[in-house]
Amino acid sequence: MRRPELLALVSLALTLAAGCGSSRSTPSERAATSGHEGASEDAALGERDEAGGGEAAQSRDFEETDSETAARARGGRTAPASELRPTATEAVLRLFVVDAQTAPITGIVIKLTAPGGRNYYAPETDDEGHTELLVPIGQRYEVEYLSLGRRNTTAAVDVPSRPQQTLRLTLRYRGPREAPAGPRGFVLEGVNFATARATIEPDSLPRLDRIVEYMTHRPRVRILIAGHTDNVGNARANQRLSEQRARAVREYIVSRGIDGGRIESVGLGDEQPVAPNDTPEGRAQNRRIEAIEL
């Protein structure tokens, strides 16, 4: 089954299976102790631009809903047996990723970031769209899908301060049923070089580190790095420069621990413009690096 494209709006159904709550409870705690098994919550996830733009939508706090939401979002599927056990200080997060038709999506990596900046990664979702991980209790986490592309989806989830708790989250894509056929490429916005050279500017490295992060947690992924230039100057020199820049990006990613056999590089010179070369703005768009998942 093909994986749908990450989109701006994602719904998140949260089901809590936990012990008794405190006298002053959060919405999550009230759902867990409301007297009906499998109480759930929904939230919208805002989309943010990895190139540094603002959020396209604001994530909102979870709201209590009826107890059937999470079951419907999974299409009535039976959850696989958990391989993890909650403790006094860590909760199990059981995650299910489905598309708009409630079909499971495989190969998704979900990242949670704690307030202090520490990251927790769930393994890739399996054929049932399921994955799970342990996280410390009593914290609010930012939830994010790892993506090679320019945009990620984000939301926040509260893990109450209660021992021995398991939380179920169903994350649903709302978008096309299928991704376009064939490899898909993304312009790596924010990756810049010294003028007429293949030296990567230091402020470009955080963007490249996100590729490293993606490939680290999706170990079967292979990518192609493609370099492009505008048409100013000699075409042969532009071809050579595009090759050198693509190779420099590949070498940086390999230097961060990614197997070089998983990354190819190619230079395409000025052969594939995406904008007219008769304006400074157009030429800037044509000077680019693309990453293509193979």
Structural domain boundaries in the chain:
10-173, 184-293
Of 115-119, 173-177, 223-227, 270-274, the one with minimum mean pLDDT is: 173-177
Average pLDDT over residues 180-189: 70
Q: How confident is the model at residue 82 (pLDDT cuts 50, 70, 90)?
A: confident
Instruction: From the options 3.30.70.360, 3.30.70.260, 3.30.1330.60, 3.55.40.20, give the CATH code of 184-293.
Output: 3.30.1330.60
Is the pLDDT confidence value at 22 over 50?
no
pLDDT number for residue 79:
60
Tokens 């048409």 — which residue? 231
Please give the residue that has the higher pLDDT: either 288 or 32: 288
Does pTM surpass 0.85?
Answer: no
Of 17-21, 103-107, 111-115, 148-152, the one with minimum mean pLDDT is: 17-21
From residue 288, alpha-carbon distances to 229, 245, 249 in Å are 7, 9, 12
Q: pLDDT tens digit string along 206-233?
A: 999 999 999 999 999 999 999 999 999 9
pLDDT number for residue 184:
66
Is the pLDDT confidence value at 36 over 90?
no
Please give the residue that has the higher pLDDT: either 103 or 85: 85
Handedness of CA 49, 54, 57, 59 (dihedral sign): positive
Query: Tokens in use for 249?
Result: 């990006």
Architecture of domain 10-173: Sandwich (2.60)
CA dihedral 241, 244, 247, 253 (to 10 degrees): -90
pLDDT number for residue 284:
94
Q: How confident is the model at residue 172 (pLDDT cuts 50, 70, 90)?
A: confident
* Percentage, residues of the chain above pLDDT 90: 54
